Amino acid sequence: MEEKSKKKKVGLILQIIYILFILGLFYYLGFPLPYIAIMAIIILLLILFKGKLYRKLDSLLSRRLPFLSKLKPWIKKLIIITFFILIWIILKQIIFGVLKMAGIDVQKIIMNSLNQSMK
């Protein structure tokens, strides 16, 4: 039992280090600090709630799609992860669309930052 707890803590620490590396890379590429902070908050919330989100999505899909319970566990997990990624992409597009209507074109900012760092 204690070994699982240690593994979870090590996994969480590695995820945080990876996130800090990615955010540092964004800073190095010249992304504005407010956007980096927003990305950090979203990523950290995703890490903190991923277990709960996965379980809720698993139960929702199992209720809506009863054939999932008959599949092999790894296939079921692959389908749930695919749905999670699709939901994440749709949510991202909605957020980017709302920001664009507010006058903030995130995709243009990202491309400009990448183009400036390439020079």
Token output for 6? 């240690």
In terms of residue numbers, what domain contains 72? 2-118
Structural domains counted in the chain:
1
What is the CB-side half-sphere exposure of residue 63 using CA atoms within 13 A? 5
Distance between alpha carbon 8 and the CA centroid of its chain, in Å?
18
pLDDT digits (tens), the chain, 119 positions = 567 777 778 887 888 888 889 889 888 888 788 788 878 877 777 776 677 777 888 888 888 888 888 888 888 888 888 888 888 788 888 888 887 888 878 778 777 877 776 66
By three-state DSSP, how is residue 103 classified? coil
> What does the DSSP 8-state code read for residue 32?
-
Return the number of other C-beta atoms located less than 10 Å from residue 31's C-beta: 19
Residue 99, pLDDT score: 79
Residue 118, pLDDT score: 65
Residue 115, pLDDT score: 76
